[in-house]
Amino acid sequence: MRVDGKGLIDRDRAVSFRFNDRYYTGFAGDTVASALLANGVRLMGRSFKYHRPRGVLTAGSEEPNALVTVGQGAAQDPNVRATVQEIYRGLAVRSQNAWPSLRLDAMEVNDFAWPFLGAGFYYKTFMWPRAFWERVYEPVIRRAAGLGGLSGRHNPDAYEKAFAFCDLLVIGAGPAGLMAALTAARAGADVILADEDSLMGGRLNAETYRVDGQAGPDWAAEAVAELAGLPNVRLMPRTTVTGAYDQGTFGALERVNHHTGRRGGGAVLECFWRIVARQSVLAAGALERPVAFRDNDRPGIMTAGAVRAYLNRWGVSPGARVAVFGNNDDAHRTAQDLIEAGVEVAALIDSREDVAQSGDYKTYAGAHVCGSSGRQGLRRITVRRAGREFQVEADCLAMSGGWNPTVHLTCHLNRRPTWSDEIQSFVPTPGAVPGMTAAGACNGVFSTAGCLKDGADAARTALKALGLRPRRGGGVPDADDTAYRLQPLWAVPGKGRAWLDFQNDVTVKDVKQAAVENFRSVEHMKRYTTQGMATDQGKNSNMAALAVLADATGQGIAQTGTTTFRPPYSPVSIAAMGAGAQGMGFAPRRLTTSHATSVAEGAPMIEAGLWYRPSYFPRAGETTWRQSCDREVGMVRDAVGVCDVSTLGKIDIQGADAGAFLDLVYCNTFSSLAEGRVRYGLMLREDGHVMDDGTTARLGPHHYVMTTTTAAAGNVMRHLDFVSQCVAPKLDLRFTSVTEHWAQFAVAGPNSRELLNGLLDAPIDDGTFPFMACGPVTVAGVAGRLFRISFSGEHAYEVAVPSRYGESLFKLLVARAQALGGGAYGMEALNVLRIEKGHITHAEIHGRTTAFDIGFARMISAGKDCIGKVMAAREGLLDEEREQLVGFRPVGAVRQLTAGAHVFEQGAEATRVNDQGYVTSVAFSPTLGHFIGLGFVKRGRARHGEVMRMVDRMRGIEAEIEICAPVFVDPEGGRTRG
């Protein structure tokens, strides 16, 4: 219930929200947890395995029990910590993992079957009969498991990512973090202060400490105000630094609008930050550990720190009659805070013998809580003292087993933390993260005064590394400096189940059994029992589990060691880290200058790498792509076709050694190429396989322009950079991509020259422009380039103009082509044309083929070195048994060929050992009136004329095929040259 006069909430602003089927009212500044507690709601969730009733254990992001689902419909957000979710008008949250209701959960039967569901039970059963695993056991297990659910619909909310840079990143805005930020900022450092909470101040907002004579929260507010006023400081509240990465890079999740109902209109829900910091101060505080005792998991049993937080920050008492149990002085402060707030303290149970009465409440020294009752909410606890057990009525138990420094980020680069006997926990190992200094509670310093001083010192260390001077004066404010005294207490001995990992339902028994079964390494114990694998990643339970394991194995905790902390510190939504990619944002879209025109023509656009290219240009009356494709092929063979080939890579190469360079990167020779001429080139990888092919034109004595395939343009550019900078750095040449500068169009077919001559200022003929000629031309008044090359096998050209004129030239070319009985053609026709002509693409040069395989071995010039030459000569790559490029044509009843089919000898069974090869490309050739194909067959070149069997099990097609030469149309090349 609410406690008057306490808390940092705004009591003038009531906020109503929904939990399951009821509306509740809280105040601005409340979390779902604090508001529900204020309304007397203790039961907030169910555990993972036994579906035990659970309430809040903590008041922070480490909460393992009070997980809820926020919202509904496509936007529903599962596994949200009720202890972190701020309430706002219209907020609706639901409990999870309970059916039919939170109070009455059918799966609670598991809790009565617990003796059979202990550590690792599933490894020992569910094995018979075999088929039952997928059909019976697994579906049942899956349905029972899991916490909240996804909506199953596309994420409707906006997320973003951003980069930030600073001299110093301070992680955590408690006393240590605030002091570090103040010290560094006053010295002129460029500071980012990030804190996962909505209100900066850390424990100062949850305790009753005074700083510099002020109330803790007031001092914190003033510090934050000062920082907010400095130009060199960036405050990032509601921002969890989730991971430490190499060279001062940090990941951080900012919850931008989870505390508002604001969606859409550019408003993002979360922002994932990549923060680059030259130095960092980790001031992440500490996490209180529960104590394991029988039935220590009832709603109403929580950490003492959480009780004080609810009381002091939110003005809520989690119970009317609160008992306190601990092994350190915080138990006493908790009781004192409660009394001071007018809450009844049922009893103070301190496991230590030597403790004085600390206030006006019943104190049991040298005593333990060894049990509890109250299925859906705590009713009473059992206390054991001097061998005697008795019961104490209480609806809330505050327990404190001591504190664990939040060392997580210091372990993200794989360094282990160091055991401290003094605080019975692990502390950061200095230097574990280069440039990071830990300060305050996360460094094992627990008093407020100690935290303030440690924060200031850490900032000074950072400033020194940054070459900055701390400002004179500015001492550390006075504050409480009581020493932290505790006596280790991990698990209270006794019968029954004592919980360690609340969410995963791992008990002391489970850990002991794991040790008995020889899962004695901490990693084995974790993996066998699932201890520490819940959503809190063991923040609340790992230490106690370690201690229990250490006890069971007879090793010390330090020897036992910890499991590894890995990013993220607290869970990060995939939508945040993947922001921007949903829909089209995953990769850039590259559009040619003819894109809009092609779309307007009704051409379906298909992805080609990052580019989009037209598949075909349908005309009235054409109902299938094949009709359009066949017509376009016919146009090119009989009249003229126009195709945008701008997506091919174009690389402008200049310099005295340009020819020598090309001789090195191509297996054939280019230094001997005449000016104004074009040559086909084959490029190998250093391992002797084909990398890419294309044509390269010599425009001047020291000037070439290379073309690459669309697919390999990027790789080839990188390869050329590699060769020129790493392999042949002394060659004098420079090159740069001109792919984007030139819009280039293939004009192919018998009428291609006629078409072009209608546009060129100076008409061309075979004399001025023979096959494989190139040169500058003026196209409709614009300076461009013309290449007489042919991928289709027809008399063809490629004409290039600066991209600004691309769309205009494409329209003009298509119009002229149509006037000459042709028109635009797309990728489908382009593919048919090249297969008819036997031109290869990356379907054939797929990375496993050599020049030998495709019949181009002779292109590897004997007279010079080239990349890949030596490795291409390996015995295994010149074996006649290798699969060699061939053509296929149907000769049986089944006329269809399919790419991806495998090839077998007639009569041979279609098995792996009989496999003779495969089909890479097929097309229906309108020119020939039947299907044709390219592919690879063992000893293929020697098997032309052999009839074999094509088997495509995937498509259910088998066909008799004849192996033939991989050129189907105009093998002599008369059409190309004529």
Q: Does 12 bind other proteins (CB under 8 A)?
A: no
Q: Tell the smallest beta-carbon distance from residue 646 to other proteins (Å).
A: 8
Q: Tell the smallest beta-carbon distance from residue 352 to other proteins (Å).
A: 32
Q: Does 680 bind other proteins (CB under 8 A)?
A: no
Q: Which pair of tokens denotes residue 97?
A: 């993992």
- Choosing from 422, 879, 974, 978, the residue that interacts with other proteins (CB under 8 A) is 879
Distance CA 704, CA 701 (A): 8
- Choosing from 261, 434, 974, 978, the residue that interacts with other proteins (CB under 8 A) is 434
Q: Does 686 bind other proteins (CB under 8 A)?
A: yes
Residues 19-78 close enough to bind other proteins by CB under 8 A: 48, 75-78
Q: Tell the smallest beta-carbon distance from residue 267 to other proteins (Å).
A: 4
Residue 836: phi and psi, rounded to 5, are: -55, -35
Distance CA 905, CA 894 (A): 16
Distance CA 641, CA 747 (A): 6
Distance CA 955, CA 902 (A): 12
Residue number with CB closer to other proteins (473 or 729):
729
Per-residue x/- track, 650-669, other proteins (CB under 8 A)? --x-xxx-------------
Burial 486-497, CB ≥16 within 10 A → b, else e: bbebbbbebeeb
Closest among 520, 481, 448 to 179, alpha carbons compared: 448
Residues 97-156 close enough to bind other proteins by CB under 8 A: 115-116, 118, 121-128, 130, 133-134, 138, 141-143, 145-155
Q: Work out whether the CA dihedral 381, 382, 384, 389 comes out positive or negative.
A: positive
Q: Tell the smallest beta-carbon distance from residue 669 to other proteins (Å).
A: 16
Applying CB under 8 A, what is the total number of residues that bind other proteins?
186
Residue number with CB closer to other proteins (476 or 664):
664
Q: Does 527 bind other proteins (CB under 8 A)?
A: yes
Residue number with CB closer to other proteins (306 or 897):
897
Q: Tell the smallest beta-carbon distance from residue 144 to other proteins (Å).
A: 10
Distance CA 911, CA 835 (A): 28
Q: Does 920 bind other proteins (CB under 8 A)?
A: yes
Residues 195-254 close enough to bind other proteins by CB under 8 A: 243, 245-249, 251
State which amino acid sits at residue 149.
G
- Choosing from 899, 930, 960, 962, the residue that interacts with other proteins (CB under 8 A) is 899
Residue number with CB closer to other proteins (348 or 845):
845
State which amino acid sits at residue 936.
F
Q: Tell the smallest beta-carbon distance from residue 434 to other proteins (Å).
A: 7
- Choosing from 556, 619, 674, 722, the residue that interacts with other proteins (CB under 8 A) is 722
Q: Tell the smallest beta-carbon distance from residue 552 to other proteins (Å).
A: 13
Give the C-alpha distances (Å, rounded to integers) separating 752 from 631, 822, 880.
17, 10, 41
Residues 386-425 close enough to bind other proteins by CB under 8 A: 412-414
DSSP letters along 219-279, please?
A: HHHHHHHHHHT-TTEEEETTEEEEEEEGGGEEEEEEE-STTS---BTTB-SEEEEEEEEEE
Residues 330-359 close enough to bind other proteins by CB under 8 A: none
Give the count of alpha carbons within 13 A of 594, CB side only. 31
Which listed range, 54-62, 309-317, 744-752, 946-954, lies at the site for other proteins (CB under 8 A)? 946-954
Residues 690-709 close enough to bind other proteins by CB under 8 A: 691
Residue number with CB closer to other proteins (140 or 674):
140
Q: Does 597 bind other proteins (CB under 8 A)?
A: no
Residue number with CB closer to other proteins (385 or 685):
685
Task: Provide CB contacts within 8 A for 387, sequence distance 6+.
Answer: none
Residue number with CB closer to other proteins (223 or 845):
845
| C-alpha of 745 from chain center | 40
Which listed range, 28-36, 443-451, 534-542, 631-639, lies at the site for other proteins (CB under 8 A)? 534-542
Residue number with CB closer to other proteins (252 or 335):
252
β-strand 917-925 against 930-938: which pairing, if any? antiparallel
Residue number with CB closer to other proteins (18 or 811):
811
Residue number with CB closer to other proteins (289 or 412):
412
- Choosing from 47, 592, 708, 752, the residue that interacts with other proteins (CB under 8 A) is 592
Residue number with CB closer to other proteins (471 or 741):
741
914 exposure class (CB count in 10 Å sphere: 0-12, 13-18, 19+): middle
* Residue 477 DSSP symbol: P
Per-residue x/- track, 291-310, other proteins (CB under 8 A)? --------------------
Which listed range, 9-17, 56-64, 325-333, 873-881, lies at the site for other proteins (CB under 8 A)? 873-881
Q: Does 901 bind other proteins (CB under 8 A)?
A: yes
> Are the beta carbons of 644 and 840 closer than 8 angstroms?
no
- Choosing from 82, 178, 812, 824, the residue that interacts with other proteins (CB under 8 A) is 812
Closest among 197, 729, 207 to 447, alpha carbons compared: 207
Give the count of alpha carbons within 13 A of 534, CB side only. 29
- Choosing from 5, 467, 621, 781, the residue that interacts with other proteins (CB under 8 A) is 781
Distance CA 398, CA 421 (A): 25
| C-alpha of 298 from chain center | 37
Closest among 208, 273, 277, 291 to 247, alpha carbons compared: 277
* Residue 735 DSSP symbol: E
> Are the beta carbons of 497 and 507 closer than 8 angstroms?
yes
Q: Does 523 bind other proteins (CB under 8 A)?
A: yes
Residue number with CB closer to other proteins (336 or 513):
513
30 exposure class (CB count in 10 Å sphere: 0-12, 13-18, 19+): buried
Q: Does 902 bind other proteins (CB under 8 A)?
A: yes
108 exposure class (CB count in 10 Å sphere: 0-12, 13-18, 19+): middle
- Choosing from 51, 321, 509, 837, the residue that interacts with other proteins (CB under 8 A) is 509
Q: Tell the smallest beta-carbon distance from residue 777 to other proteins (Å).
A: 13
β-strand partners of 4: none
- Choosing from 465, 727, 859, 891, the residue that interacts with other proteins (CB under 8 A) is 727
Residue number with CB closer to other proteins (361 or 666):
666
- Choosing from 296, 351, 410, 530, the residue that interacts with other proteins (CB under 8 A) is 530
Q: Does 736 bind other proteins (CB under 8 A)?
A: yes
Closest among 252, 565, 237 to 409, alpha carbons compared: 565
Residue number with CB closer to other proteins (626 or 842):
842
* Residue 86 DSSP symbol: B
Q: Does 718 bind other proteins (CB under 8 A)?
A: yes
Residue number with CB closer to other proteins (151 or 896):
151
Residue number with CB closer to other proteins (247 or 623):
247
Distance CA 141, CA 150 (A): 18
The owner of tokens 């029990």 is: 65
Q: Does 611 bind other proteins (CB under 8 A)?
A: yes
Q: Tell the smallest beta-carbon distance from residue 804 to other proteins (Å).
A: 4
Residues 846-865 close enough to bind other proteins by CB under 8 A: 846-848, 865
Residue number with CB closer to other proteins (314 or 565):
565
If residue 784 lies in a helix (H) or strand (E), which one and from where to where?
strand 782-787
* Residue 350 DSSP symbol: E
Residue number with CB closer to other proteins (388 or 912):
912
300 exposure class (CB count in 10 Å sphere: 0-12, 13-18, 19+): buried
